[in-house]
Amino acid sequence: MNKFEELRERYDTFVYHGYEIGDEGFSFHFSIGEYEFRPAWKWGSLRIPENFDRETLGRIVFSIGMAELVSYWKCACPPKVIVKCGALDEWSIGWWKKLYFSGLGEFFYRNGIDTDFDSFMTILPENTSPAPISDPFAGKRSGCLIPVGGGKDSIVTLELLKDRRESNCCYIINPRKTTLDCAHTAGYGDESIIGLKRSIHPELLARNADGWLNGHTPFSAIVAFSAYLAAFVTGKRYIVLSNESSANEGNVSGTGVNHQYSKSTEFERDFREYCGRIFTVPPEYFSLLRPWSEWQIAKKFVTYPQYLTVFRSCNLGSKTDSWCGKCAKCLYVYIMLAAFLDDDKLQMIFGADMLDDGQFDGLFNGLVYADFDKPFECVGTRDEIRLALYRAYKRREGGKIPLLLKRYMDSEPDEPETLDDYFDDDNFVPDELIGLLRG
């Protein structure tokens, strides 16, 4: 019996007991057997009006709890999930199961778990009649809530929307120096930054330390639901994500495994439908950069040199606001920028010439060649990476060619098809903003 089956047999039930909303924030109560989990959020700089309807707030917080739930469920993967708070009808149950199953594709794959949609989980709610919510800002919503993660994508969104800055605000989960610096560089003062603080309950970390199951979950779904709450209570009209078309490409050929599932067009479409059916009122959620490729985003990003020493995209270095210079994400961003920046600027950002180091052979192969699994990071498509490598070579032709770049060009000398005019029409960008991306 493998660990997945052993844990499911030993702990067959996960319970979502409830949520609490207070002056300082909100929290959830989950359990697996004798283990209790109580993850909490602090309001941070988000101010909830005193007369704001608490029942409406509770319905949104309940859904944030449903998005949080899977991070705790996955440590033992109990086959039954009992939901004792909120309300879920049959459609909602199917919606959440799809998010969990698709969003856990990487988790299942990397843990060697063989399961299917029907058997991996049964959701059993005690209340099956969700109530719609009313909009206190009906007809008066304006401006955009822009989630900022510290990378080049959200920076491009901030700059594309700079003419609307006075009515916009930034949204940051667990603000840190990089994310705040990006918002400040874009011209947003602290009064225009909403920062919620999310914490993981220590019991989950203890279960992981004891050897229970662990792995990737669809975190961007938590961003979506918490951003909806922030935009809803502040009267914003739009929630503007920065997910690009490239997020739709999977990581393992012949499977549906996608590290970026909750950044995909499919999830965006599903989330918009959830908001329309369950919440029934604005704000409207969409990704401004969905029509573009990562190539186009990188090309646009380098036109904002004020961010080159500010932005960070490395997950390993996020706690210290640094580039670790050792992971697939660092190597990927290095490659994309190498098409547009000279070596001195790249080394100023990353501290080394990552394309001139043979230790990155394995990561490089995964990023470039279809015979290898694509790294489980938020990276672009192989077509985009090959184009960036070719342009990086052309930029350095006649001078010193870094080791990995030379190896690539020796095996792939032909010029890839350009992506300068790429445009993905499968997007939800409103008509009033689509012109920002044309041309």
Q: Residue 347's closest CA among 382, 309, 301?
A: 309
In percent, the amount of the chain with pLDDT more than 90 equals 93
Is pTM beyond 0.75? Reply is yes
Per-residue confidence at 439, pLDDT binned at 50, 70, 90?
A: low
| 220-242 average pLDDT score | 98
Beta strands in 214-324 (DSSP E): 238-241, 284-287
pLDDT of residue 319: 86
Per-residue confidence at 253, pLDDT binned at 50, 70, 90?
A: confident
- The residue behind tokens 């029934």 is 280
Q: Residue 275's closest CA among 81, 428, 425, 168?
A: 428
Helices 343-350, 328-338: crossing angle, 10 deg rounding? 160
pLDDT of residue 77: 98
Asked if residue 436 lies in contact with residue 259, where contact means CB atoms within 8 angstroms, the answer is no
- Per DSSP, helices labelled H in 74-212 are 90-103, 105-110, 152-160, 177-185, 202-209
pLDDT digits (tens, 9 = 90+) for 153-209: 999 999 999 999 999 999 999 999 999 999 999 999 999 999 999 999 999 999 999
Beta strands in 231-341 (DSSP E): 238-241, 284-287
Residues with Cβ within 8 Å of residue 182, at least 6 apart in sequence: 148, 150, 154, 155, 158, 307, 310, 311
Asked if pLDDT for residue 306 goes beyond 70, the answer is yes
Cβ burial 266-295 (10 Å sphere, 16+ → b, else e): bbbebbeebbeebbebbbbbbbbbbbbbbb
pLDDT of residue 132: 84
Asked if pLDDT for residue 368 goes beyond 90, the answer is yes
pLDDT of residue 41: 98
Cβ burial 344-353 (10 Å sphere, 16+ → b, else e): ebbeebbeeb
pLDDT of residue 251: 92
Tokens of 298: 């990188």
pLDDT digits (tens, 9 = 90+) for 91-148: 999 999 999 999 999 999 999 999 999 999 999 999 999 988 899 999 999 999 999 9
Which DSSP letter does residue 275 get? Answer: I
Alpha-carbon span 307 to 263, nearest angstrom? 23
pLDDT digits (tens, 9 = 90+) for 376-405: 999 999 999 999 999 999 999 999 999 999
Alpha-carbon span 268 to 20, nearest angstrom? 28
Residues with Cβ within 8 Å of residue 173, at least 6 apart in sequence: 147, 195, 196, 197, 198, 222, 223, 226
Q: Domain residues of the chain, as ranges?
A: 3-135+195-287, 322-411
Alpha-carbon span 361 to 317, nearest angstrom? 21
